[in-house]
Structures are given as structure tokens and as C-alpha cells.
Structure 1
Amino acid sequence: MSTLAPGLRLHDRFLLVGRIGVGGMAEVWRADDTVLGRPVAVKVLDPSIGSDTTIRMATHREARAAAGLTHPNITRVYDYGEAALPGGGLAPYLVMELVEGHDLAERLDAGPLPWAAAAAIAAQVAAGLAAAHAAGVVHCDIKPGNVMLTPGGVKILDFGIAGLAGTPDGGLRYGTVGYCSPERLAGADPTPAGDVYAVGVLLAEALVGQRPESSRGLARFPVVPGVPPALTRIGTACLAADPSQRPTSADLAGVLGDLARSAPHAAAAAPVSPGPARPMSPGRAVVPAPTSLLRSKPSAEPEPAPSGSPRNPMRAVAIGGVAAALVVIAIVVAIVASPGSDGTPGGQVAQAGASPGVVADPTTDPPTPTPTAPTDQAGALAAFEALLAQAVDDGKIDEKAAERISNRLDDLRDAVAEGEDVEREARDLRGELLRDRNREHVDEEIRLQLARLLIPFNANGDSDTSGDNSGPGRG
């Protein structure tokens, strides 16, 4: 994507050390905060989209909201800035907590989880979301690749590009197909209910090892032998077509936490199949959500509580006992630290501050290969048209969106032929790419690939570098 390299300093403070991951929208780097003397994760957005004023403003606004979230299951956002890169282009970046572990997607490569472990992980995801939702922040992209498993518990990644509940986003953050709720796919604004739907998909995937079957964009929660009926019921409720029929994230955290603790202790803490065998650094302790976040909500046909337990698995409860908290944490620790097939410790030192944009995981359709970007305008026009047509055939862009983009492409083609203001037409086409209309869909990776093909039409043959290059509060 860029001219980022080890040794580069952003605003003379964040020293890039090594790249952790790269995706369609951003690169994520391990870095040193030279002022506070701590390691951090720095997510740098691609200059081809970062130079867009609307995106910069939205990213800054939402980063401010995410930075206000403090919860053991949420990766912290420390800072935001906008830097002019050495090779040109304005790149917004987010500075985040660096978390050690491996993500749930990698763990699921080895197969499904025991139901108690799946419930414990989903409970902590829901607890983190409950804190975010209480603050008016919606994640918008919950999926296994954004759930980090650490020795201390679960950490949700990528809150740095979250949305604000009920705020129109113009389609700029579409999430990952397969985990998006049906109303979100139809163009609705982000809501907490959309995150709950994604947790339902994630829970189902953890139980069976792959994304659940779907019909007309609506996932179906599986019935798995040996899984408590209460777990199947709450999972099914998460996937309700009507968002108002889904549980709140706080209720979901309480129900799933109760179910995980209701499992026999030996079964709950038993080692499970490992992820990739790689060294892992120690993590930090994680505790369940505060009692104030676990609001009660009635539910039909509650599952009887186990003998000797006062808890009802179908309601949100206060989590007070240290022993109960340790049981939930022990399940996640067992997943992270279980031995690999060769007897070595499991786990992976992975990023965490944010996932690198919309990244394909083993259960999603393979991404369309990134075309080699032509350097001449005629070649770029031909490549753009070919990629647009292929994306329509692959179902990665709907026909209505393709039609309006194609109309802008015709304007650009005419400008090239007639020697008119090519740069302006290219800028208008790029803006059209980056702003979905209601009820239209453009796959995020395709959007970025098409935008990169417009580089030859910029005045300097590079990404637009207009705008302020100093981050907020940097002077």
C-alpha cells in the first residue's frame, strides 16, 4: 500500500517497528510510543481513502468516541493523527493498545469449540459490546478475526473504526458479509442490534467450526447435539429477522456467562484443540462486565437452573463471586494455552489494536485478486471497467451501484478524450466510489481496488495529498 517502513516516525512520536498485518483499508504496525515508553499498535489507513475529507472527519469523530470506552474486553484507542507519508498521501492513523494472543478465526481453523468455551467467549464479547452500546458506540464488524484470545480473556479488536449508534454512515463502513445483519445489508444505519446479530453468527460458528447456513441473508442458528436448549434459544434470538426481537448485548452477556458457569467445572476448563503452535506473551487479567451493564429482560420458557445454583440461565445476573469469574476466564485460558499437535504451547503473537480492515477469513469467499495498477490513463480506464464488470458478476457490487459508478466513469472517459478537467472528474468518481447510497452495496475490497486505479488521473500521479497533515492536539 505505502511507503511505511521500520524506523519511520509518525509526528515524531510513534516509531514503527514491524508490520503486523495488512488488509484492504489499512496496515497495522507494532510501534513504540517514544513519549510514554510503551509498545502500541498503529493502524494506518490507505492514503487512497485517507485523503478523502469526509472519511477523515468520520474516522476522527468515531475514534474520539471509541477512545472513551474503558472495559476489560475492549482494546483501547489511545490516539489519532493524520500524517503526510514520505511517498505522498495523507494517512489518518489510530494508536491502539497492543494485545498478545491469537484471534478466534485462527483457533477455529482447528475445529469447533466445546459449547461451554464458545459460550464463555461470546459472553465476554457481549460484555464488551454492552459497555460500548451504553456509550452510544456500535462496533459494526464483529467476527472471529476481530476477537482476540489472550491468557487473561477476550479482547474485541477494531473499535477504532466503530460507528455511532443511529448515525448515518453513508455506507462507508459496511462490515463483513456473512456477519452483517439483514437490516444493515439493506442500508440501515448502525444499531446495537446489528452487533448482537453478529455475536449470534460468531457463537454459531464457534459451535460448528464454520459460519452457519443462511437463507435470504438471514443466518440460521444450528441445533447441535449436547448443547443446552437455553444456549440454542438465546443464539436463535440473536439471529431474529426483527432487530427488536433480539436480546440486548447486556442480557446476552448475562445469559451466556451463566450458561458457561453452569457447565461441569472439569468439562469447562478442559483443554481444547489448539490453534497454530507459536510462542505467546503473557496477557492481562480480564473480569466480567460490571453488574450495572447486565440489565434484566424477560424471556419465554427459561431453562431450569442446575441443582444447587440460584441462577436462571435466561436472565442477566450480577457477577459477584471470584470463583465464578475464574471459571469463565479459565475456559479462555485453556483455549489459548492448550498444547499443539507437536506438544508445543499453542497461540500466536498477533496484533491487536485493530484488524486491518475487511480481511477475508477461511469461511468467507476468497477476495477478488488485486489487479496490477496501470500507470497510464487509458490502461487505468480499461482496468477499472473490467474490474467493475467482474465485481458485478461475482456479486460483490450490486447493479444499481455499478450503474451510477459506470456513469461517472463515462464522464471521466469523455474528459480524457476531450482534454477537459480530468483530475476533477477522477475526484468525483472516487467520491462516488467511497459513498454508498441507501440499499446499495459495494464490497469494501473492491471499493479500494477501484479507487487505486484512479491514481494516474491525479495531478502528480499519486494519491491526493490535500488537507492538514497534523493530528488533533499536536500543534
Structure 2
Amino acid sequence: MSEDWPIAGTLLASRYRLVELLEIGGMSQIWRADDDLLGRPVAVKLPLGAQVVWREARMAAKLQHPNIAAVHDYREAVRPDGSVTPFVVMELLAGESVAARLDRETIGLPEAARIGAAVADALAAAHASGVIHRDIKPGNVMLTPTGVKILDFGISATAGEPDDDESGSTFGTPAYVAPERLDGMPAEPATDVYGLGVLLFEMVTGDPPYPVDTWEELAEARSNGGPRRLPPTLPAAFRDLVNRCLDESPEARPAASEVRFDLTALWLKPAPPSPAAASWAYVPGRAAGGRAPATTLALTGPPARRRALAVSVTALVVALAGLIAAVNWPREEKIDANPELPPPAVASTPAAPFETTRPTTPPPTSTSPTPKPAPTLSFDDAVGRFRTAVERGAAGGDIRSDVATDLLNLLKPLTRSGGDVSSQVSQLRQKIDDRAGEGTVSSAQAAVLRSRLADLDKASRTM
């Protein structure tokens, strides 16, 4: 690349007009561009050196997955000096990379597990097609409004393919490279799983197990004390999974599909109930003397909460006692002064308490009260109900895990202000119909999700 080529406004292959330079790295430039033929924004990747970008295009084009950035085209552009430069046209993504997010803050465990599950799902699909990414790291994972996306298959290879250069450029990034690669072994699916383990480690701690920048620093760190460890405050299941991904032996690492399953279980796991909330419990007991059963109202919770509830219960009992006394108190009757009238009759046997006599004639028909209208569901509540339905469906096996991840990623923009809600609801409905048709969402669960979407659509019209 020369200093004056390319520039904004350059037209490549009579179709792609460069708009803005988004990123420049050691091997390529990434430009925002307009596809003049189809009228859509795209990303254009221009190599800085002799990188063979058609290989990347062919590798990525083999993979059709919602968590892998799509490749649209491969072309060649003619420079002003007459030389030819190949380039790749890719899906333009909004959002930020995991690396950019980590520059601000670490990522909590539930979200880190969700991101990791999406990456593992994409890797499982790539490995099933014989493709190894070879450079899984925070900079190559994008967080977008439509979900998690893996980028940059620039050094990808087929499984078991030997390295074809002596520079080490196909090894990946030092902090994320699997140990067997340092011994000259070809990349295998376990190579990407190691990179995923480093990604998970870094998301929750802020740094990789070996926080190094060069191969020399990596060799020194590996010989002096080994990698950093995850803090014991993290759940044991998560620490065990990451440690297995980072195992020195590639044979001991789990498959990407197994990692996806375990991470999905972690991020869908419900939070434990708060112990601070007081609760009521009815405890059966016996009255004094053991003659009749009694009921005790037990209170649980913090001492201050129990004392406050005890006062309330005492007031309630007193009020009920007064009400019962008022109902059973003998009524004063108005007696005429005429002595010839007989005194009121007195029953010879008192009626049993709370006993009533069945009427011999049907009671008069009463008019049913008008039912109260159902409370209006708020938009946030409707979104939450849909999310809960997806999570329960995934946990119960009625929604495949990757489909649940996809649905929840499509739901994320609905929690933000603005946007075309009806269009997004239509996309979700179409996605549910498609997945139900292919059997990855059960018909019963699809009916539940459609009902939740109808509530969500209705709630959006009252915002």
C-alpha cells in the first residue's frame, strides 16, 4: 500500500467504494465501504503484504453460521501503478470486540459464559467442516446487536495441515497459542479449544494466563512458574472447564461442542434465591391439652424482619378476634312493652359453632360482579417473559442451545430505547417458525414463544 492509495472514495473493482478506514493492523486494513451494485454497507479487507486473502475467503465462505462473520465476495483491485491487490468483502458488523470491552472492564461470569458458548458453537461448526481458525483471541470476537461473531480467518487451515512458512505468522498470537504448536505440531480442533480457554480466562480476570506479547516472553513465562490460575471465588465447574481447555495435552481437552454445552448450562443456571427475604410458613401443632389440632404461623428471615412481622401478625390476630366476637355477640332485640306478647323462644340445644343449616329453597339469583380488566403488561415485563421462556426451553431440552443463544441475541436490541420493535418482533417470529420447522424448537415451546411475542408486540404499542 502506498501512502496515497487507497483513500476514502476509491472505487474497487468498479463496485466497492471505500468510505472510512476502520482498522489497520500488521497484516491488513479494514475499510467501511458501500456496495454500489446492491446498495448495502460492507467491510473490505485489504492486505498490506503478500498475504493470500483468497484462502481466507474460501475458508470462511465454507462456513454458514450465525456466529461467524459472513464473507460476501473476493475481488482484485488495480492500483494506480498497475499492480493488482486482492481484497475480501465481508459482512459489516456494528458493536465492539471483546478486546475493546476488556479495555474498560472485565466481564461477569454469566455473560462470559454466554459469549464463550457462542464462540464454542461456531468452532464446533467450523471443526465439523474441517476448518481450524488458529487465532481465537479477544480481538477476533465481536459483540454485535445481532449476536457474537468470530472474525478473521486469515490464518485458518484445514485440520492437520502443516505450516507452510518459516516466519511463524501462521502460529497465531503468542499469548493464545496452544503449547503443541510451539513444538511444530499442525493445528487441530484442540488448538482452537486452547484459544477459547484463554479467551474465557481473560474475560473474567482481565488478562490471559500468560500475559505476554512476544514469543521470547512466552518461552520465559512458560519456563518460570507456569500460567496464572483462576481465582477460587469463581464456581468450581467453570474453573474445571477452563483448566481442561488449557490442558498441556491436546488429547485431554474437551471438544468445542462439549464446551458449548457446559457453558450454556452455566449461563442459563438461575441465580440462588436471596436469603434476606422473609417468608411465611404454616406449621401444624396441637392445642393445649392435645385435644384439638392447632396451626402455628411461623416467620423466617432476619431478626429485624421477624420482629416487624410479629408485630403485624399480632395486630392481625387482635383484629380477627374482635371481628369474631362481634359476629357471635348476642344481639339486643327490640321488645314491645305489651305484656300479652310471649317472650322470644330459646333453642333447647345450642347450635354447633360455625354450623349452618342448608336452605330448603334455592337462594335468590345474584348478579355476578363485573370482572376486573387484566393488568396491562409493561414492555420490559413482556421482554423478560420472552427471555424466561427461551431460557426455560433451553434448560428443558425444548430449544437447542445454539438456537436459544441466537434468539436471546435477537432479543437484546429490544431492551434498548428506539428501534423498529415491530420489525424486530417479526424477525423473532420468523426465526421461531423456521427453527420449529427444522425441529430445533419443539412445537409446544414454539407456541409458548409465539404467545410471548404477541404480548411483547402488544406492550410495545402502549410505550
For 2:146, which of 138, 141, 152 is the aligned residue?
Answer: 152
Equivalent position of 1:232 in the other structure: 239
Q: Which amino acid aligns with 2:50?
A: I
CA drift at 1:169: 2.9
More helix by share: 2
Matched, 1:5 2:2: no
Structural mapping, 1:165-314, within 5 Å = 165-171=159-165, 172-213=169-210, 215-216=222-223, 220=227, 222-264=229-271
Larger Rg: 2
Structure 2: gaps (5+ residues): 211-220, 275-391, 418-463
Q: Structure 1: how far apart are the matches of 2:402 and 2:197?
A: 27
Q: 1:159 to 1:322 in 2, by over 3 A?
A: closer
Q: 1:322 to 1:76 in 2, by over 3 A?
A: closer
Q: Structure 2: how far apart are the matches of 1:78 and 1:323?
A: 24
Q: Which amino acid aligns with 1:122?
A: G
Q: Structure 2: how far apart are the matches of 1:68 and 1:218?
A: 41
Q: Structure 2: how far apart are the matches of 1:318 and 1:189?
A: 39
| Residues 63, 161 of structure 1: 8 Å contact kept | no
Q: Structure 2: how far apart are the matches of 1:326 and 1:100?
A: 16
Matched, 1:320 2:403: no
Equivalent position of 2:311 in the other structure: none
Q: Structure 2: how far apart are the matches of 1:218 and 1:79?
A: 47
Equivalent position of 2:59 in the other structure: 65
Q: Which amino acid aligns with 1:201?
A: V
CA drift at 1:134: 0.8
Matched, 1:122 2:116: yes
Q: Which amino acid aligns with 1:24?
A: G
Equivalent position of 1:292 in the other structure: none
Q: Which amino acid aligns with 1:39?
A: P
Matched, 1:100 2:107: no
Provide Cα deviations, 1:314-347, integer angstroms capped at 9, x if missing partner: xxx784389954896499879x979xxxxxxxxx
Q: Which amino acid aligns with 2:258?
A: D
| Residues 69, 91 of structure 2: 8 Å contact kept | yes
| Residues 221, 232 of structure 1: 8 Å contact kept | no
Matched, 1:109 2:117: no
Q: 1:88 to 1:23 in 2, by over 3 A?
A: farther
Equivalent position of 2:338 in the other structure: none
Q: 1:206 to 1:222 in 2, by over 3 A?
A: same
Matched, 1:83 2:163: no
Q: Structure 1: how far apart are the matches of 2:125 and 2:401?
A: 20
| Residues 66, 406 of structure 2: 8 Å contact kept | no
CA drift at 1:164: 1.8
| Residues 141, 175 of structure 1: 8 Å contact kept | yes
Q: Which amino acid aligns with 1:49?
A: A
Q: Which amino acid aligns with 2:205?
A: V
CA drift at 1:40: 0.7
| Residues 118, 148 of structure 2: 8 Å contact kept | yes
**What SS class does the counterpart of residue 60 from structure 1 fall into?**
helix
Q: Which amino acid aligns with 2:13?
A: H
Q: Structure 2: how far apart are the matches of 1:310 and 1:167?
A: 37
Q: Structure 2: how far apart are the matches of 1:75 and 1:217?
A: 38
| Residues 63, 162 of structure 1: 8 Å contact kept | no
Structure 1: gaps (5+ residues): 51-55, 268-307, 339-475
Q: Which amino acid aligns with 1:190?
A: A
Q: Name which structure has the greater RCO, CA cutoff 8 Å, separation 6+.
A: 1
| Residues 120, 331 of structure 1: 8 Å contact kept | no
CA drift at 1:100: 0.2
Equivalent position of 2:133 in the other structure: 139
Q: Which amino acid aligns with 1:76?
A: A
TM (norm. structure 2) is 0.56
| Residues 139, 162 of structure 1: 8 Å contact kept | yes
| Residues 261, 401 of structure 2: 8 Å contact kept | no
Q: 1:208 to 1:321 in 2, by over 3 A?
A: closer
Provide Cα deviations, 1:72-92, integer angstroms capped at 9, x if missing partner: 110011111232322454322
Matched, 1:31 2:28: no
Q: Structure 1: how far apart are the matches of 2:250 and 2:151?
A: 24
Q: Structure 2: how far apart are the matches of 1:191 and 1:83?
A: 34
Q: Structure 2: how far apart are the matches of 1:261 and 1:140?
A: 29
RMSD (CA atoms): 3.3
| Residues 66, 149 of structure 2: 8 Å contact kept | yes
Provide Cα deviations, 1:388-407, integer angstroms capped at 9, x if missing partner: xxxxxxxxxxxxxxxxxxxx
Q: Which amino acid aligns with 2:400?
A: G
CA drift at 1:225: 4.0
Q: Structure 1: how far apart are the matches of 2:29 and 2:411?
A: 32
Q: Structure 2: how far apart are the matches of 1:72 and 1:310?
A: 18
Q: Structure 1: how far apart are the matches of 2:136 and 2:112?
A: 15
Equivalent position of 2:282 in the other structure: none
Q: Structure 1: how far apart are the matches of 2:129 and 2:84?
A: 30
| Residues 79, 95 of structure 1: 8 Å contact kept | yes
| Residues 19, 27 of structure 1: 8 Å contact kept | yes
| Residues 22, 28 of structure 1: 8 Å contact kept | yes
Q: Structure 2: how far apart are the matches of 1:218 and 1:38?
A: 52
Q: 1:30 to 1:327 in 2, by over 3 A?
A: closer
Q: Structure 2: how far apart are the matches of 1:168 and 1:218?
A: 30
| Residues 118, 402 of structure 2: 8 Å contact kept | no
Q: Structure 1: how far apart are the matches of 2:134 and 2:76?
A: 23
Equivalent position of 2:18 in the other structure: 16
Q: Structure 1: how far apart are the matches of 2:247 and 2:29?
A: 35
Equivalent position of 2:438 in the other structure: none
| Residues 94, 160 of structure 1: 8 Å contact kept | no
TM (norm. structure 1) is 0.54
Q: Structure 1: how far apart are the matches of 2:238 and 2:54?
A: 38
